C-alpha cells in the first residue's frame, strides 16, 4: 500500500454514546491501521475538563489509540478550542505525541504547517481574548483543582455562551484572517497549511504556489478525514 499520512479534526466526540464515537472507532480500527502517521488537529472531544476525568469518559478511545500506537502508527495530537486542557497524562496513556500550535512538519518532501485553526481567526477579538485567558497556566491549574461538578457546569456554560454568541457574529470574523495566514507561511517557511476549526472544508490555492487545506468537521452524514500521499491529497470518509 502507498505510504500515507492521515489528518482529521473537529470530531467533537460527546461523552455519551454517539455515531461519531462509532465512526472514530471504525477509523482507528480501519484506515488508521494502514497509515504511517495520524494527526488529530484539535477538537477531538466536545469538551475536556481534565485528564483525570476525560480519560474515564473516553477510556474506549484511549485504549484504541494506545493499541494503534503499539502497532507502530505514529500518533500526533494538537489541542483545539474545546479540548485545550488535554495533558501529558492522556498523551502518555494513549501513545500520542502532543504538538505545539502551529507545528511544522516535512510531509513527503513538502514543508507543511499544521494548526487547529483558531489562532488564524484574529478578527474575532472576543474569542481571542477568551483564548488567551483559557491558555493561561495559572487559570488552568485553578480550574483543574475544582470539583468535577463545578468543572462540568463551567464547561457547559462556556459552550452555551459560545453557541449563543456565534448567532450574532458576522460570518466573516469567524473565518481565518488573510494576514494571519500569510504570517503562518512566512514564519514557518511552509508552502502548505493544514488546519481545522472553521468548519468550512475546502482547498484554497493561494498566490505564490501556497496552499491552504481546511479539514472537515464531522457530521452524521459525513465523517471525513484527509489522506496525504506522495501523489496527492484525498478526502475520504469512514
**Residue ranges at the known binding site for substrate:** 81-82, 124, 162, 166, 169, 197
Short-list 51, 58, 66, 6, CA closest to 31? 6
Residue 202 grid coordinates: 475546502
- Identify the bridge partners of residue 13 per DSSP, sorted by sequence position: 45
Helix (H) or strand (E) holding 72: none
CA-to-CA separations, 173 to 118, 166, 227, in angstroms, rounded: 11, 10, 29
CB 162: neighbour CB atoms within 10 A?
13
Residue ranges for the known binding site are 10, 12, 43, 81-82, 116, 124, 162, 166, 169, 197, 199
CB 202: neighbour CB atoms within 10 A?
10
Q: How far apart are CA 97 and CA 183, in angstroms?
A: 25
Residue ranges for the known binding site for Mn(2+) are 10, 12, 43, 81, 116, 197, 199
Amino acid at each position: 500500500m502507498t505510504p500515507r499520512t492521515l489528518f482529521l479534526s473537529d470530531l467533537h466526540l460527546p461523552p455519551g454514546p454517539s455515531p461519531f464515537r462509532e465512526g472514530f472507532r471504525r477509523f482507528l480500527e480501519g484506515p488508521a491501521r494502514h497509515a504511517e502517521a495520524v494527526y488529530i488537529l484539535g477538537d477531538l472531544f466536545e469538551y475536556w475538563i481534565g485528564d483525570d476525568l476525560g480519560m474515564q469518559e473516553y477510556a474506549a478511545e484511549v485504549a484504541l489509540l494506545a493499541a494503534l500506537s503499539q502497532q507502530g502508527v505514529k500518533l500526533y495530537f494538537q489541542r483545539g478550542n474545546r479540548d485545550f486542557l488535554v495533558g501529558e497524562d492522556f498523551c502518555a496513556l494513549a501513545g500520542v505525541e502532543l504538538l505545539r500550535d502551529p507545528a511544522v512538519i516535512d510531509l513527503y518532501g513538502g514543508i507543511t504547517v499544521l494548526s487547529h485553526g483558531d489562532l488564524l481567526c484574529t478578527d474575532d477579538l472576543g474569542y481571542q481574548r477568551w483564548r488567551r485567558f483559557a491558555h493561561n497556566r495559572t487559570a488552568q491549574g485553578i480550574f483543574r483543582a475544582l470539583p468535577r461538578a463545578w468543572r462540568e457546569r463551567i464547561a457547559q456554560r462556556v459552550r452555551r455562551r459560545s453557541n449563543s454568541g456565534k448567532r450574532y457574529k458576522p460570518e466573516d470574523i469567524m473565518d481565518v484572517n488573510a494576514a494571519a495566514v500569510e504570517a503562518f507561511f512566512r514564519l514557518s517557511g511552509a508552502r502548505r497549511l493544514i488546519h481545522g476549526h472553521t468548519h468550512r472544508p475546502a482547498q484554497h490555492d493561494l498566490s505564490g504556489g501556497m496552499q491552504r487545506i481546511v479539514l472537515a468537521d464531522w457530521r452524521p452524514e459525513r465523517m471525513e478525514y484527509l489522506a496525504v500521499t506522495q501523489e496527492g491529497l484525498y478526502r475520504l470518509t469512514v
